[in-house]
Structure 1
Amino acid sequence: MGFYGTVFEFIDMRSFSNLWFWIMLAVVWSSASHWVLGVPFDMITRARRNPRAAADLEALAAINANRLIFIADEAGLWLTALGSGALTMLALLGFVYGSEFSQAVFLLAAPLSFVFLLSLRTARRIVAGDGSAETLRRRLGLHRIVVQAIGLVSIFLTALWGMHQNIASPYL
């Protein structure tokens, strides 16, 4: 067996029956809910008790919010065009042409695009907000809850689709 045969045997392109896909799915959603707008959630909880941590939270949230808004303002049109084109390509390859790998990537990337839009909206609210630490903690906490809800629904739907693919697959 050649190099490519070994690689494709190790990285099975049938994603929904592959343990690596499910580990990656869990890591992606765990990271997305822990890093709220680039701010680790433990910093948000520490900021409630420690004034120094609250100042760090305000600074880090402002830096990340301004960075995200700058990226969206400068390259938002291109990001929207490329992102929607990539999602459309993945959806067509996966659900029209039957590529299981494309289905898996689409089921991972589509909800993350909603998380990106939610993060952009939250960043704009942080920059336009009153700047108090309590308002910032509340806003970031609410953002985290919504990201967790999106992740929960995404994992549930991906698991349903993966079970369907594994049961309906003729290659078992």
Structure 2
Amino acid sequence: MDLRQTIFEVIDMRSFSNLWFWIALAVMWSTASHWVLGVPWDLITRARRKGGPAERDVALLVQVYVNRILHVAEVSGLVMTVLICFVLTALAILGFAYGVEFAQAMFLLAFPMTVVWILSLRSARIIRRDEPEGAALYRRLQMHRMTVQLVGVASIFVTTMWGMFQNFSIGVLGG
């Protein structure tokens, strides 16, 4: 028996039965929920409660990240849209039409994050248009965070259900 075969027998390389996939999913959604348009949630909470320097920091960071998000969208939005659509379509076809479990797992990670990117772009446009300050800005950031969390909960639920289905069907059907 060679080393490669031993490694593949010891470590299950299927995505949905691999602990690292589930850790990556949890870290991805934890990070997406914590960084609201590039601003850490704890800083937003501190600014809302205490004001002062934290409030100025939030306003500055929001301005920087809104400008950055909108610049990226304006400069390379069309190319990014085409590439993201191509990659998501390829992953969906490979994963769900051809049964490649790795492609299924990557699609279930990438598609919801694409939704989060679209939500971030929408929030950035609203913030630039309305130029909210203080409580209105915190309310907008909180609404964005709650929407991202809802997408995350739905994504985790769908991914968990699909992963359990895959693991049960592989276990019952024998591979």
Deviation digits for residues 121-169 of structure 1, max 9, x if unmatched?
0011111123312111110001000000000000001000011001111
Deviation at 1:171? 4.0
- Give the Cα separation in 2 of the matches to 1:122 and 1:106: 24
Query: 2:11 and 2:72 mapped to 1: Cα distance?
Result: 34
Q: Distance in 2 between matches of 1:67 and 1:10?
A: 45
Tell me which amino acid in the other structure corresponds to 2:164: M
1:24 aligns with 24
Q: What pairs with 1:124-135 in structure 2 (closer than 5 Å)? A: 124-135=125-136
Cα deviation digits, residues 35-86 of structure 1 (max 9, x gap): 0111000011011112210110000000001000000000000000000000
What is the TM-score normalised by the length of structure 1?
0.94
Residue 160 of structure 1 is matched in structure 2 by 161
Q: CA deviation at 1:10?
A: 7.0
Tell me how large the CA RMSD over aligned residues is.
Answer: 1.6
Map 1:20-169 to 2 at 5 A. Answer: 20-48=20-48, 49-169=50-170
Q: CA 1:60–1:160 in structure 2 vs 1: closer, same or farther (change >3 Å)?
A: same
Greater mean alpha carbon deviation, residues 122-131 or residues 20-29: 122-131
C-alpha distance in structure 1 between counterparts of 2:51 and 2:9, whole Å: 51
**Structure 1's 45 and 101: CA in aligned 2 closer, same or farther, altered over 3 A?**
same
Question: Unmatched 5+ residue regions in structure 1?
Answer: none
Gaps of 5+ in 2: none
Match in the other structure for 1:14: 14
TM superposition shift of 1:94: 0.2
The one-letter code sitting in structure 2 at the alignment partner of 1:126 is: I
Count of residue pairs brought into register by the alignment: 171
TM score, norm. by length of structure 2: 0.92
Q: Following the alignment from structure 2 to structure 1, what is the Cα–Cα distance between the partners of residues 128 and 99?
A: 43
Residues 13, 100 of structure 1: 8 Å contact kept: no
